[in-house]
Amino acid sequence: MSRRRSTDRPSRRDDVVVLDGVGKEYGDIAALSPVDLTVAAGESVVLVGHNGSGKSTLLSIIAGMLEPSDGVIRVHGQPPDSIHARERRSWLPDTPVLYDDLSVREHLEYTIRMHGGRGDEPIVDELIERLGLEGRQDDLPSQFSRGLRQKAAAAVALVRPFTLLLVDEPFVGLDASGRVALLDLLEESRAGGATVLVATHDPAVIDRFERGLVMDNGEIVHDGPASSLHEFLSADTVHRER
């Protein structure tokens, strides 16, 4: 299998994410081989690969939730765990993280206030409606199915201001209407100027993005237009799982 660097150009002032030789090891196991990656402002990127290919590890490092073993990473020119970077990024992990004692609406109102807004801003009601949470907005997420918890977590991630949105496997458990609504919201975030990175193993959503990366065994093995992923994946070049 041919390997290629995901970027071969120097970083620019408008680059939002820059990774230089970033890797992650757990003992003798390399969860992420040294990765070079540059993502510019306003890019819409889909990251695909089998479970265990390194997608979640890569996104968690960019989000500042996981410390790399090697290399240098910058988000908006600063370390990903810096206040500067955290203020500008929103993170939707593959496992929804929600408070057991707050309703859906309380989650959204609390989040938006934490970021300088008002709890009664129109975006709160808009997200509740668009993600199909109207009848459950006053319920506790601890009572929800996986799909409803995923919708609630997506609303929390989208209600706050951000210039970088990192999303890991967001479509698991969602019904058809929820998938469409979330894809539309991701596209609208990008159209509004945000940089969007989404990891998924679902090839059906590829065409909703502009740039596509393929991961295999902790490496980025393909980087090109998202439309090119269909041919790459159909060639059965990415088939190994760790």
Average pLDDT of the residues in 186-199 = 97
* CA angle 123–79–37, rounded 5-degree value: 90
User: Residue 59 and residue 56: Cα distance in Å, rounded?
Assistant: 5
Q: Give start and end residues of each alpha helix (H) in the chain.
A: 55-62, 83-88, 104-114, 122-130, 146-159, 176-191, 229-234
Look at residue 13 in the predicted model and tell me its pLDDT.
Answer: 58
Within 10 A of 26 (CB to CB), how many other CB atoms are there?
10
pLDDT score of 235: 66
Whether 201 and 208 have beta carbons less than 8 Å apart is answered as: no
Q: How many CA atoms lie within 13 A of 125 on its CB side?
A: 4
Confidence of residue 10 (pLDDT cuts 50, 70, 90): very low
Mean pLDDT, the chain, whole residue set: 90
Distance CA(231)–CA(228), nearest Å, equals 6
pLDDT in tens, 31-54: 999 999 999 999 999 999 888 899
DSSP string, 2-14: ----S--S---TT
State how far the Cα of 7 lies from the Cα of 20, in Å rounded to an integer.
10
Q: Domains (ranges, CATH) in the chain?
A: 15-96+162-234 (3.40.50.300)
Q: List the one residue out of 61, 148, 147, 71 whose CA is nearest residue 104.
A: 148
Residue type, 60: S
